[in-house]
Structure 1
Amino acid sequence: MTLRQLVKRSSADQILELDIRAADDRDDHDTISLIPPPPLAFLSSKHSANLQTSAHLTSLESQPMSAAYRKYADLIPSISEPEWNQLNSLVDQDPDSFDNWEKLIQATEALEGGLGRSSSPEVIEQARRVFDAFLGKFPLLFGYWKRYADAEFAISGSDASELIYQRAVASIPGSVDLWTSYCSLKMETCPDDEEVRDLFDTAADFVGLDFLSHTFWDKYIEFEERMERQDLLIKLLERIIHIPMHQYARYFESYTTLGATRPIDELASEQDISDIKKSITNADRMGKPKSHAEVEREVRTQIHKLHTKIFSKTQEETMSRWPFEAEIKRPYFHVTLIDESELVNWRKYLDFEELEGDVERIRFLYEKCLVATALYDEFWFRYARWTLSQGEDLYEDVRNIYRRGSALFVPICRPAFRVAYAHFEEGTGEISLARDIFESELVELPGNLEILVARANLERRVAGVDAAIQFYKNELQSNTNDVYTKGSLVAEWSKLIWTSKGSDQEARDVFVQYKDKCLDSRYFWINYLQFELGLPTSSEIEHERYKRISEVHYEMRTTARLPPTTVKDLSHTYMVYLLERGGASAIQEYNRLDAEVNG
């Protein structure tokens, strides 16, 4: 598989494939191979094997992953450097501390006077392990990939450095800096011009639309100038002048200057040139015929007018994007929070591009946005939904978005995105995978009601109401769920029976069966009371309804162990019922409760 294909996959398993290639290459050179990636905390069962990756990111909120990274850091043994060992120990104790990692990397780079070919095998091993562990945790920090590639260049040369760059651009496909550095390395070390040019073309597909991509395009232009391929250079500049970017005018000037020295057939399409010549011929019929030189001058003039229109359009598109680009203060990833004003700007920028309707630019902006906002699930949600709206033929792209967000970036403590991923897989017929996603979430967030209810509803949809009920029963018998979670599950079970089967008695029996076990569950008693209040009634059966509602309220006040504020709120709900639906004696009970509850 080519680098272009790997990066375009943009899925959670792409980095592992590159890691394996890097490991194999090192083994061929009798050097230390990459350490294995940490366990993937998001998927389990057979599907986790398909998504293992060394490019995990865990935000500071995501505590379940900390243990996994402590195990990862444990693979970095001590060496005879007291200061380095101390820093390594600090990382081991708190793998979520970015400052500790930075200090460890600086100390690693300084071992034995700096990394290089003369470094000992032990130090080289340590350096690789530290970089691999750090970039496994923070794969979007492009500057550290660059430092890693530079270190490998100093240790083993260009081939080893290129392997790091391949992993880097697969981790951050939209990084102008990484692609520019990678292409620069290739320019200086690869004797095959076509191979270098192919890498530039690949890079252009991923970063060429960036508003600040001028450093990359300058490097590409430098390469073609060095190769003295003016025919390819004019094509390159013609491609660039269509792109709205920060320094668009400079490229148009370069194109105009070079175009004056190039053959006409390199400056426009065959159709455009043919149309221009026809218009000139038609004009000649009205007067004196022009010479060949005059015709060529006229053709060039008309072609320049076409290019001027292109320039005007590019200028307009640049100006329309400028306000959004100017508000992006942090286009790179960091573990700290982004200012709300920047989040608002990203939302507006995405709105703008979606209204413009250029699918390629929309997709590019989402990828750019998700570097800076990787820890914010709202943008992953938005990207997945937009991609899904483009058609069923993009299902694999949607799947990769969910995989990347779930396996790499969205904090474990925010389960909604992974629930949406399970829903997506269920919708595509991957029921087993959807179940595995839920199961793995529950490993990290045991007792999470949102996940449990979503899982129960999956069973209801694919296997029927009884399967969902059985799931609730199993969870109520589980030791992993506390009394508060179990109280909520009872309420959800009862609601399922009532809404699916329409049997109020069967639904009530569930509440009655578990009420003595859920005395501390606020959610249980709220839903028990609301259930009785919400049942359909009539004048003939309202007295029976009153007895049941009154009993629930009495048990809630006298038996349940609820916070006083909850008891007060529920009593207020019951008092409203007395006023609106109570009988002749209800007002006496209302006045008594008013004195007791509000007095």
Structure 2
Amino acid sequence: MSTTIDPTWTELSAKLQTNPSDFTTWESLLDHSTKNLSKITPEETLTRFRICYDSALSRYPNLEQYWINYASWEYKLGYTERCLDIYNRALTIIPSSLKIWCEYLEFLSYKAGYSYETVLKKYQEAEVLIGDHYHSFGFWKGYLKFEKLYQGKSIYYYNLLKKCLDLPLYHYAEFFSMWFKEIDSMTKDTAPMIIKKEELPKKFKITEAQLSAKGVTDSMIADLKVKLKKIYTDVYITTQFKSHELFKYENQIKLEYFVPNVYKSYQELTNWDQYLTFISKNPSNANSSAKATQRSVNLFERALISLASYPQFWIQYAEYHLSQGNTLDAKNILYRSLQYLNEGNNLPVYNLIIDLELSLNEYGKVYELIRSLLEYREVVSLELYLRFIEVQYLFMINDKEGKNSDNSKGQFKRYIVDLFDSGSISLNFQTSILVHLFEYFKDESINNLSFLTELNKDDKFNACIEYHMIRLKLSLHSNGKNKNKISELNKLYFDIYSNFQNDEEARDKLDHWFEMYLSYQQHDESGDERTEDSLGRLFEIDCLRTFNDF
């Protein structure tokens, strides 16, 4: 079978191979792939069309309208099962897409030929995921229309409509208008469906038997209408307040859909952050903790459709789950975020993943994760090196058997020496790493630090080592007593050392002064024992005296 060459398709594909982030070219390719498609289009052309859409949506999975377009084309071409598969794929990736759910449910309700029960389950599934969306009026209208078409104004229909009255939506008033019309037209036949039987004795002072009896009077129905309107006028006021409470955030959302290479303003990002925080910390609109959690999750999922390339929102989402005690959900969210982020902005997410895995004692998993990052990232940050060294150190101190402790320490030390000798990191990186090494070893015997001198080839770390050795001696000298005072002395020493670290004479005087402090007699001339505070005061006085001339 011969292959037809499509020069336009070939040209556009070549452009994308050179620059796969050029969304304008993607749009041109998708438009070209759907030109003149029909049920008699050759299979080769259909294959190209599907390759184009699959490739584009693989790269930009949050393009809601493109998923809908793809599914619509498959239906037009006579491939109903392919159409359904595309909708299901889309909702697996972006489960809180109001736009896709509404199109999908419309298709299931009137085109797919499915049974009432099958489609109803999908509506119920969608209700959990998008029912509290501020702009979900169209979804609920479609849900009510579907129920009325198949079952008439059933009890389920009236319960759905009543459910809408409690939702703080943008078009909340439309549902109240519908509900008050139902009250106005209520008869003794529809009253049992409009009023829940458990409400009858408490709110209306009548029994279920009275309401369903043949002898129910018109005056009784009229009285019920008055009471119902009063009750639901109060509900209206409550829902109105809640809707207005959300409107101040919703009104600041300028572009809710994902558009490649279009960046949000600082104001819009701040608004989303505040909106998510408000919903997470104010569950008053939900009548149960489970619904409050679902509402927060739904808003995060909705936000991430357009904000997937911003790591701070994935982190905020994960931290919300952590606040609820859902560590596994938090971890899954962070791993999921990596497909939307890039090397330039994903390190904060990796750091949180590392922290979570370490909290679960997954040292081996973290080791392999960081090692792969160091190996494949074009630019490796100091922070990543430090995390890797931290994990190596944790391996060493968490040797459960205790049999290989010396060997673990030896491997750790050898790794550091080899890293410094490799020439792969700058002197500034090496100095910062050295500082962290002192921090790791601060609680160990000072003799265990001797290996650090191996790193000091050509005396390049003299100043750094001198300063941190002094800090360690001071820490050991305190024996854990009077930590606040020791912290103050450390700061004083650091401030002076920073000013004179390039002045060898000044450093010598500073080191001499510190040794004097360590050698102060523990008793004063009268024989009384000196406290740490009094030693500290001597320390500060001598410090000022020593450096007064500099």
- How would you bin the TM-score normalised by the shorter chain? 0.7 to 0.9
- Asked whether 1:244 is paired with 2:187, we answer no
5+ residue gaps, structure 2, are 209-214, 284-291, 399-404, 478-497, 517-542
2:347 corresponds, among 415, 419, 432, to: 415
Query: What is the aligned partner in structure 1 of residue 88 from structure 2?
Result: 166
**In 2, Cα distance between equivalents of 1:350 and 1:490:** 37
**In 1, Cα distance between equivalents of 2:201 and 2:368:** 61
- Structure scoring higher RCO (CA < 8 A, sep ≥ 6) equals 1
CA-to-aligned-CA distance 1:463-498 (integer Å, 9 cap, x gap): 517647634633653698713287257515732553
- Asked whether 1:494 is paired with 2:418, we answer no
Q: What is the Cα deviation at residue 517 of structure 1? A: 7.5
Query: What is the aligned partner in structure 1 of residue 337 from structure 2?
Result: 405
Query: What is the aligned partner in structure 1 of residue 278 from structure 2?
Result: 352
Q: 1:515 to 1:237 in 2, by over 3 A?
A: same
Report if aligned partners of 1:380, 1:405 keep a CA contact under 8 Å in 2. Answer: yes
Query: What is the aligned partner in structure 2 of residue 80 from structure 1?
Result: 5
CA-to-aligned-CA distance 1:135-191 (integer Å, 9 cap, x gap): 111111111111211222233422211110111111111211111111111112233
Over alpha carbons, which structure has the higher Rg?
2
Q: 1:427 to 1:440 in 2, by over 3 A?
A: same
Alignment of 1:146-165 (within 5 A): 146-165=68-87
TM-score by length of 2: 0.75
Report if aligned partners of 1:456, 1:468 keep a CA contact under 8 Å in 2. Answer: no
Report if aligned partners of 2:200, 2:207 keep a CA contact under 8 Å in 1. Answer: no
What root-mean-square deviation, in Å, do the aligned CA atoms of Structure 1 and Structure 2 show?
3.7
Query: What is the aligned partner in structure 1 of residue 180 from structure 2?
Result: 256
Q: 1:575 to 1:127 in 2, by over 3 A?
A: farther
1:204 corresponds, among 107, 123, 127, to: 127
Query: What is the aligned partner in structure 1 of residue 232 from structure 2?
Result: 307
Report if aligned partners of 1:79, 1:85 keep a CA contact under 8 Å in 2. Answer: no
Structure 2 counterpart of 1:155, one-letter code: L
**In 2, Cα distance between equivalents of 1:490 and 1:130:** 48
CA-to-aligned-CA distance 1:237-296 (integer Å, 9 cap, x gap): 111111111111011111221343362232233221221343799xxxxxxxx9744333
Report if aligned partners of 1:377, 1:410 keep a CA contact under 8 Å in 2. Answer: yes
CA-to-aligned-CA distance 1:45-86 (integer Å, 9 cap, x gap): xxxxxxxxxxxxxxxxxxxxxxxxxxxxxxxxx961112111
Query: What is the aligned partner in structure 2 of residue 374 from structure 1?
Result: 308
- Asked whether 1:387 is paired with 2:340, we answer no
Query: What is the aligned partner in structure 2 of residue 66 from structure 1?
Result: none
2:455 corresponds, among 504, 514, 535, to: 514
Alignment of 1:82-231 (within 5 A): 82-110=7-35, 113=36, 115-191=37-113, 192-231=115-154
1:269 corresponds, among 156, 175, 196, to: 196
Structure 2 counterpart of 1:337, one-letter code: Y
Query: What is the aligned partner in structure 1 of residue 468 from structure 2?
Result: 531
Q: What is the Cα deviation at residue 210 of structure 1? A: 0.8
Query: What is the aligned partner in structure 2 of residue 554 from structure 1?
Result: none
Q: 1:508 to 1:431 in 2, by over 3 A?
A: closer
Q: What is the Cα deviation at residue 506 of structure 1? A: 4.2
**In 1, Cα distance between equivalents of 2:308 and 2:243:** 26
CA-to-aligned-CA distance 1:301-326 (integer Å, 9 cap, x gap): 32332222222111110011111100
**In 2, Cα distance between equivalents of 1:171 and 1:314:** 32
5+ residue gaps, structure 1, are 1-77, 282-289, 541-567, 595-599
Q: In percent, how many aligned pairs have the same letter?
A: 20
Please give the secondary structure, in 2, of the residue aligned with 1:328: coil
Query: What is the aligned partner in structure 2 of residue 559 from structure 1?
Result: none
CA-to-aligned-CA distance 1:105-161 (integer Å, 9 cap, x gap): 222222xx2x33222222222221221121111111111111211222233422211
CA-to-aligned-CA distance 1:343-374 (integer Å, 9 cap, x gap): 11112212322331233322222222222221
TM-score by length of 1: 0.69
**In 2, Cα distance between equivalents of 1:526 and 1:295:** 94
Query: What is the aligned partner in structure 1 of residue 375 from structure 2?
Result: 443
Report if aligned partners of 2:417, 2:454 keep a CA contact under 8 Å in 1. Answer: no
Q: 1:294 to 1:137 in 2, by over 3 A?
A: same
Query: What is the aligned partner in structure 2 of residue 470 from structure 1?
Result: 411
Query: What is the aligned partner in structure 1 of residue 269 from structure 2?
Result: 343
Report if aligned partners of 2:442, 2:472 keep a CA contact under 8 Å in 1. Answer: no
**In 2, Cα distance between equivalents of 1:576 and 1:306:** 83
Matched positions, count: 469
- Asked whether 1:362 is paired with 2:305, we answer no
Q: 1:275 to 1:494 in 2, by over 3 A?
A: closer
Structure 2 counterpart of 1:422, one-letter code: I
Structure 2 counterpart of 1:206, one-letter code: L
Please give the secondary structure, in 1, of the residue aligned with 2:441: helix
Q: What is the Cα deviation at residue 579 of structure 1? A: 8.3
**In 2, Cα distance between equivalents of 1:570 and 1:130:** 64
**In 2, Cα distance between equivalents of 1:451 and 1:79:** 50
Report if aligned partners of 1:87, 1:104 keep a CA contact under 8 Å in 2. Answer: yes
Q: What is the Cα deviation at residue 429 of structure 1? A: 4.6
Structure 2 counterpart of 1:348, one-letter code: Q
